[in-house]
Amino acid sequence: MFRSVDNAGVQELFPEPIAGWMTVAVDRPIDLAGHGLTYAVPPELADLEIGAPVTVPLGRGNTPTAGWVTGRIQETEKPPGVIKFITDRRQGPPLPADLVELGCWMAKYWLAPPGPTLSAMLPAPVRRGTGTVTHRLIHLVSSPTEIPARCGPAQKRVLAFLNALPAEELPIERSTLRDKVGISTFGPIDALVQRGVLLETRRTSIHEAWDPTHLQVPPVPEPTPQQQSIIDDVLTRRTRYSANLLHGVTGAGKTEIYLRIMQEILEAGCHVLVLVPEIALTPQLAARLSARFPDEQVALLHSALPAATRNAHWHAIRRGDARITLGPRSAVFAPIPEGRLGLIVVDEEHDASLKQETTPRYHGRDVAIHRAHRAGCPILLCSATPSLESWHNAQSRDDWTLHSLTTRAPGLRTPRTRVVDLASERREDRDRGSSLGPTLRSALAETLRQDRQALLLLNRRGWATYLACSSRRCGWVLECAHCDAAMVYHRHGEIPSGGYVRCHHCLGEVRLPTSCEECGKPIARLGTGTQRLEEEILALHPELVEGQSLIRLDTDSMADAAGLHEILAAFQRGEVRVLLGTQMIAKGLDVPGVRLVGVIDADTALHLPDFRASERTFQLISQVTGRCGRGDEPGIAIVQTMDPDAPSIVAACRGAASEFLESELTHRRQASLPPATRMARIVVQDENLTDCETTIARICEAITSLAPESGIVLGPMPCPLARVRNRHRREILLTASTATAIQQWLHQAAADRILADPSVIVDIDPMSLL
């Protein structure tokens, strides 16, 4: 019996029974509607379940293609002879059925191909089986008092050894048995297995070697009446879905609230999923979870773990051994046994890192909300600076509740925050080239004199962020040859010229030119990055030691997660006196010794061409200034800015989150911007500028004709970054009154193949417009 395949499909030369039909999401960028492709199931694969990894023939050439079973079909309108058969079952674990359902929903909502979406839900080490080891175990079939006849000397020694072993030490590993008996080959053991005297079984396990960093954990505090009220309110709805936005000032004890709720959920036998925006936040929280729940296994799921560890933790979650899962946005796909999920926590829910910027372009917070809804469990969204989307939902939806903490937890002091007009200070400062104004320089000196710690935030990497001709008449600026962006100068002691220039978009690097390429004049190195700030502080305070008592923390200085965790542990122990870096240091650090927080330039993102720029500036300043005052002393936060009257900066320094959010929400409503509306961004990227502009114009015309009554089309227009990696970028922005309206609009465009060009990127609910 065999099948003959032609371009029309599969034609049976002889009748063959079909065990049914299934939909398969193929691992190719097709099927944006998310329906899956229909395949026949051969009898030998009749036991396939939803989520099974399979191989199917695709296209006229019947190319063997990986895919995932997404559903069963009772009947099909197509004649059996034209439906292709599933070829085989692939190696690797199946996806749980609830994750398949979640992945198909994601594909439809974010207009992504379902096959690659499902593949993205399974970590690569799990697909590859990294660290999986097969153990061959030897059992005695019985305990014979006499050694069977016709046994060689080596076989007799094997049986004698096994008979002498205590019962609790059986079965024994095959290689261990060989070594203990002192024979050189497995031949005698295998011969006894073949004769039925011994029994061999095989068991697989995942070997992993990982020792998590242990950080100091504060003692368990008693909840305040305000905290207890929130805990009780959430737990009254523990058996059904509810969305809870937990908003409170930094240091208000939001973590303690969800730890108390977790304890009740775990005691009820359920599992808890905790999401954080950054891998950097996992060490402290993992240590705190392990100390709080010593009898529970805490599984971590993130890309910085060793591959075998990720595989081991994934399977521990799936088996139900680990009932607490912690990780960044991808941990939302943790394979928690169906029906066992009791709580989801999204810490720092406002953070843009929860949004993925490659296909599928999902938002971890929104997927977590949907998963909680399907599981019928509460979700807790925590932030001192809530996103406007969550703030809006908490005020307008019946299934959302806003919980507020207005004061810091007992024992923590509210820091004093001072806004410094940097332009005014520089006019009076003798050292006008310094990144630190007189106020911040004085505060840093006093902090070090008192043997306290300081955090300094500058959200720009490198040494000089802008390289231009020193002649005012020339106007030449060093730009990337592949992007419409300025190059950034990085110091490097091993390079003769002292450093190199790098594009932070395409990562292209070239040597620093010796002079202006237009007029030959010297090059001016302008703007300050974290490298330059580090050199300046070392010059001001030679008692500090680079890499020991002064550490720079950014993506250039961190090689791996282990180094990051060690730096954070050293900072918590007080060994690091000054920690400076980018936004990596603004989140989650809870160190009592921090007396000073300095924001070097609060205007870094304030004037970017993105309607969320003001919101992000408010969030960043609020978060980093909240890192001080976590001990006995209140501490001080100094915010340097060229725009001291900017509403976002003023509100952040006053701690007026509710006031800022209400004001910003009013502006968004007036401008018909999210969250008052829903938005989608369509970007075309092409190396040929003419083709790029032609394609975006065609899409704009076609999609405008499909616009709903509330639909608005902006563009076509160049993206703020109009060229990246030699590809020109043009965009249109779509807004509609509701999510349903914009979904129907885009799905109709996809059905009409308006968005089928491979150069097109569709981003629904975009978090960045750069």
pLDDT range class, residue 13, cuts 50, 70, 90: low
- pLDDT at site 559: 67
Burial class of residue 136 in the structure, from the number of CB atoms within 10 Å of its CB (0-12 exposed, 13-18 middle, 19+ buried): middle
- Specify the pLDDT at position 206: 60
Percent of the residues in the chain that have a pLDDT greater than 70, as a whole number: 94
Question: Do residues 138 and 199 lie in contact, with contact meaning Cβ atoms separated by under 8 Å?
Answer: yes
pLDDT at 213 over 60: no
Cα of 762 vs its chain's centroid, Å: 20
35-54 burial code (b ≥16 CB/10 A, e <16):
ebbbbbbbeebeebebbbbb
With contact defined as beta carbons under 8 Å apart, do 748 and 707 qualify? Answer: no
Q: Which residue has the higher pLDDT, 187 or 344?
A: 344
The yes-or-no verdict on residue 216 having pLDDT over 60 is: no
The pLDDT, as a whole number, for residue 737 is 95
Which residue, 725, 732, 647, is CA-closest to 693?
732
* 262 vs 20, more confident: 262
Pull the structure tokens for residue 462.
């490198």
**Cis? peptide before 378, omega within 30° of 0:** no
pLDDT (mean) for 476-504: 89
**Residues 711-750: pLDDT tens digits?**
999 999 999 999 999 999 999 999 999 999 999 999 999 9
- Give yes or no for residue 2 having a pLDDT over 70: no
Number of H helices, E strands in the chain: 21, 32
Compare 463 and 407 and report the one with higher pLDDT: 463
pLDDT above 70 (res 156):
yes
User: Strand, coil or helix: what is 82?
Assistant: helix
Distance of alpha carbon 463 from alpha carbon 578, whole angstroms = 18
For residue 8, the model assigns a pLDDT of 43
Q: How many CB atoms within 10 Å of residue 611?
A: 15
Which residue in this structure is represented by tokens 């002649």?
Answer: 471
Report pLDDT for 382.
95
Task: Report the alpha-carbon distance of residue 681 to residue 761 in Å, rounded.
Answer: 8
Q: Pick 573 or 389 by higher pLDDT.
A: 389
pLDDT in tens, 362-396: 999 999 999 999 999 999 999 999 999 999 999 99
State how far the Cα of 378 lies from the Cα of 242, in Å rounded to an integer: 5
- Between 69 and 221, name the one with better pLDDT: 69
Average pLDDT over residues 321-349: 95
| Percentage, residues of the chain above pLDDT 90 | 63
Residue 211: per-residue pLDDT: 46
* pLDDT tier for residue 1 given thresholds of 50, 70 and 90: very low
pLDDT category at 4 given cuts 50, 70, 90 is: very low
Query: What average pLDDT does the chain have?
Result: 89
Give the residue-averaged pLDDT of 280-304: 85
| Residues 194-211 pLDDT 10s | 888 888 887 666 655 444
Structure tokens at 748: 């109709």
Structure tokens at 625: 């200034």
Q: Is the pLDDT of residue 150 over 80?
A: no
Question: Beta 324-327 vs 298-300: how paired, if at all?
Answer: parallel
Residue 322: pLDDT above 80? yes
Two tokens, residue 504: 């932070």
Specify the pLDDT at position 535: 93
| pLDDT value of position 76 | 79
Is residue 705's pLDDT more than 80? Answer: yes
Instruction: State residue 110 phi and psi, 5-degree precision.
Output: -95, 15
| pLDDT grade for 92, boundaries at 50, 70 and 90 | confident
Question: Could you tell me where the beta strands, DSSP code E, fall in 207-335?
Answer: 242-248, 271-275, 298-300, 324-327
- Residue 310 DSSP SS3: helix
pLDDT of residue 71: 93
**Cα(584)–Cα(455) distance, rounded to whole angstroms?**
11
Q: What is the DSSP letter of 479?
A: B
Q: For residues 704 and 689, what is the distance between their CA atoms, to the nearest angstrom? A: 22
Measured distance CA(722)–CA(739) in Å, rounded: 28
Q: Report the pLDDT value the prediction gives residue 5, as an integer from 0 to 100.
A: 42
Q: Rounded to whole angstroms, how far apart are CA atoms 141 and 144?
A: 9
pLDDT at residue 560 is higher than 80: no
* pLDDT for residue 763: 96
What whole-number distance in Å separates Cα of residue 710 and Cα of residue 736? 5
- Determine contact, residues 562/534, Cβ cutoff 8 Å: no
Q: What's the pLDDT score for residue 306?
A: 82
pLDDT on residue 147: 62
Give the per-residue pLDDT at 9. Answer: 44
Q: How confident is the model at residue 6 (pLDDT cuts 50, 70, 90)?
A: very low
- Look up the pTM and report it: 0.88
